[in-house]
Amino acid sequence: MLKLDVLKRRGTFTLHARFEAPTPGVVALFGRSGSGKTSTIDLVAGLLTPDEGRIELDGTVLEDTRTRTRIPPERRRVGYVFQDSRLFPHLSVLANLQYGQKRAGDALQPIGFERVITMLGLEGFLQRRPHELSGGERQRVSLGRALLSQPRLLLLDEPLASLDAARREEVLPYLELLRDNLSIPMIYVSHQFDEVLRLATHVVLMDSGAVVAQGTLNEVSLLPELRSLVGSEAVGAVVDGRVTGMDTGRGMAELQVGRGVLHVSVRQTPPGTRVRVHLLARDIILGTEVPKGLSVRNVLEGTVVGITADDQETMLVKVDVGGPAVLSRVTREAAEELELHESMRIWVLVKAVSTRGHAFRLSAISAGS
Amino acid sequence: MPSQSLLSPPEWDALRLSLEVALRSVLFSLPFAVLLAWLLTRGRFPGRSLLDAFVHLPLVLPPVAVGYVLLLLFGNRGPLGGWLHERLGIQLAFTTAGAALATAVMAFPLMVRSIRLSLESIDRGLEQAARTLGAGPLDRFCTITLPLMSPGVIAGAVTAFAAGLGEFGAVITFAANVPGQTRTIPLALYTAIQSPTGDARALRLAVLSFMLGLLGLLLAELLARHARRKLGR
């Protein structure tokens, strides 16, 4: 567990970061630029000193202003992947990778050099200089360098922000691979919701220097605060489920979500795989009776647990489908006609096709949800 | 040696002395220059501006004045020179070592300036990265900061060396004009000009100075370029 409660003033800006994050796990610090995300992880790394507060990682106090405890950054064993990679220009890729490893001391379960090289695909350019690498390659080396310093916690500060779309897609799978194969807890700073969707297990939502919400991805995806950050069209519940069956011919996976089953469009997911689906509120249809004679593949039974105003014409309806909840955007007229109210029974209809491109494999091997 | 026809033995002496004095002055002042550049760039202490001005004084003072101050301090009866002479048996005034000291003081601002410029251009983020990878202060300085500022250190050293070859006022005041001891090329040149029969000698020495200076500056540029290329800039 990472426990954080720190205060840092900088001119007129006050950062008050307070959250608890499970370890291992990937916690996304999500928010606008200037909301204090990077300062927060700088405080965790020790690159910034808090004015007040306490940081604790798995029982070790990293910082406590009351007892004047402070472990300097070089002894915290907190890895940091910077947005601009910060590879040492005067050293080869190999020497960059070994820099932290040489200074790591004895780790309990050291991550071996060979393993990191293979996992990140770095075999080809160990002898090269950082300036001879592409942006994506630089970030992979930077990841490897941080991992080899045998960190107890890995901080990633928008590691994909300086890359173009193609390079981002090149690096993202490596990050997923690390999440699935290593038990190093990570804090992932981002202002891109799709990265959070693909990588995070928990989300801490930040705005103007304060934590406005935190929780699992499903919990946070239901919050109205998210709307201004991701945009109205991307509002929708994020649900995690386990694959129970696979129709390889049609590229459809059967996903157990709460009490129901969703058919989603996702590649190569053997039974047991955990899959995450972003169910966009605009794609979710509600019915007050058991639907018949529709092309829709997915029908989940649930209970209305909340109705909130969305904008001038629409409402957001929150439906509990037996565990996770989903969001549906309906017009005010429809809400009135259906006489939607809390605790009413309702059927949620999801077009399988609408999940195309919004479903992600979480891990090959499942270990509890 | 065929070149012996080009220069007379005293002129060879002057060349050898100039090189020796310049080299010794650079070797002696380099660590101090790095330290001072560090303090002036990174240090936060009262009196930093005063120290900065003090370091740059030799640039604006008459070299003769610098030599005179050195004579007062390091002469055998001066507070520092007396101590060195009695305790360690070291004499600086009127010796080659003294010429090197005077040269070092004169070239010091040039060296500090060059090192400081390269230190200021270093991305502090790289030092932070080294820190998160487990490197303590001295470790960081030796493995990250120093290599990254090496172009400035090299350029500063070579420039100071080239400038040191020609130092005149401070050397003649503090170390005098002793043939084979402190008579470097500029002092030999001065002596030749003073002599009614020294025209040819003066010309040869002037050309020699010119070539040495040019060579030094070219070398500085070449080394700096090489160092920059190694850093991928």
- Residue B69 confidence (pLDDT): 94
- Residue A108 confidence (pLDDT): 67
Cβ neighbours for A346, distance < 8 A, ≥ 6 positions apart: A286, A287, A288, A301, A302, A303, A304, A317, A319, A340
Kindly list the residues of chain A whose beta carbon comes within 8 Å of any beta carbon in chain B.
Answer: 45, 47, 72-80, 82, 84, 86, 88-90, 99-100, 103-105, 129-132, 145-146, 149
Q: Is the model's pLDDT at A31 over the cut of 60?
A: yes
Residues of B in contact with A130 (CB under 8 A): 232
Please give the residue of chain A at the shortest CA–CA distance from B135: A74
Counting one residue from A and one from B, how many pairs have CB atoms under 8 Å apart?
Answer: 69
Q: Which of the residues A39, A70, A77, A88 would you substitute to probe the B interface, choosing the one with the greatest number of B C-beta atoms within 10 Å?
A: A88
- Residue A367 confidence (pLDDT): 38
The letter for the amino acid at A253 is A
What ipTM describes this predicted complex?
Answer: 0.85
Distance from CA of B30 to the nearest CA of A (A): 22
Distance from CA of A116 to the nearest CA of B (A): 16
pLDDT tens digits for A46-102? 999 999 999 999 999 999 999 999 999 999 999 999 999 999 999 999 999 999 999
pLDDT tens digits for A225-258? 888 888 888 899 999 888 888 877 777 888 888 7
- Residue B1 confidence (pLDDT): 43
Residues of A in contact with B136 (CB under 8 A): 72, 74
CB contact under 8 A, A88 and B139: no
Res. A189 pLDDT band, cuts 50 70 90: very high
- Residue A68 confidence (pLDDT): 93
Res. A359 pLDDT band, cuts 50 70 90: confident
- Residue A363 confidence (pLDDT): 67
In the sheet with A13-21, reading across from the earlier edge strand, the strands are A69-70, A60-64, A52-57, A2-10, A13-21, A210-216, A202-207, A26-30, A186-190, A153-157, A78-81
CA atoms of A120 and B55, how far apart (whole Å): 50
All structural domains of chain A with their residue ranges: 2-230, 236-361
CB contact under 8 A, A86 and B123: yes
> pLDDT averaged over chain A?
89
Residues of A in contact with B127 (CB under 8 A): none
pLDDT tens digits for A198-223? 999 899 999 999 999 999 999 999 99
Cβ neighbours for A194, distance < 8 A, ≥ 6 positions apart: none
Distance from CA of A169 to the nearest CA of B (A): 25
CB contact under 8 A, B232 and A47: no
CB contact under 8 A, A105 and B134: yes
Measure CB to CB from residue B129 to each of A78, A80, A132 and give the nearest one: A80
Residues of A in contact with B129 (CB under 8 A): 80, 82, 86, 88
Positions of chain B with pLDDT under 50: 1-4
Q: Which of the residues B124, B132, B143, B154 would you substitute to probe the A interface, choosing the one with the greatest number of A C-beta atoms within 10 Å?
A: B132
Residues of A in contact with B131 (CB under 8 A): 47, 72-74
Q: Which of the residues B133, B138, B145, B229 would you substitute to probe the A interface, choosing the one with the greatest number of A C-beta atoms within 10 Å?
A: B133
Cα A338-A341-A343 angle, rounded to 5 deg: 125
CB contact under 8 A, B133 and A77: no
pLDDT tens digits for A296-342? 778 888 999 999 888 888 999 999 988 889 999 999 999 899 899 99
Please give the residue of chain B at the shortest CA–CA distance from A128: B232
Res. A369 pLDDT band, cuts 50 70 90: very low
CB contact under 8 A, A47 and B131: yes
Measure CB to CB from residue A104 to each of B134, B150, B232 and give the nearest one: B134
Residues of B in contact with A132 (CB under 8 A): 232
Tell me B220's DSSP state: H
Could you tell me which CATH class the domain A2-230 is placed in?
A: alpha beta
pLDDT tens digits for A256-289? 887 888 888 877 778 888 889 999 999 999 998 8
Distance from CA of A73 to the nearest CA of B (A): 6
CB-based burial, B111-138: b 16+ in 10 Å, e otherwise? bbbbbbbbbeeeeeebbbbbbbbbbeee
Measure CB to CB from residue A131 to each of B129, B133, B232 and give the nearest one: B232
CA atoms of B37 and B119, how far apart (whole Å): 8
DSSP structure string for A217-248: HHHHHT-GGGHHHH-GGG-EEEEEEEEEEEET
Rg (chain A; Cα; Å)? 22
CB contact under 8 A, B123 and A105: no
Ramachandran assignment for A120, one of left (phi > 0), alpha (psi -120 to 50 degrees), beta (any other): alpha
- Residue B2 confidence (pLDDT): 46
Q: Which fold has domain A236-361?
A: OB fold (Dihydrolipoamide Acetyltransferase, E2P) (2.40.50)
Tokens of B109: 């601002």
Please give the residue of chain B at the shortest CA–CA distance from A87: B126
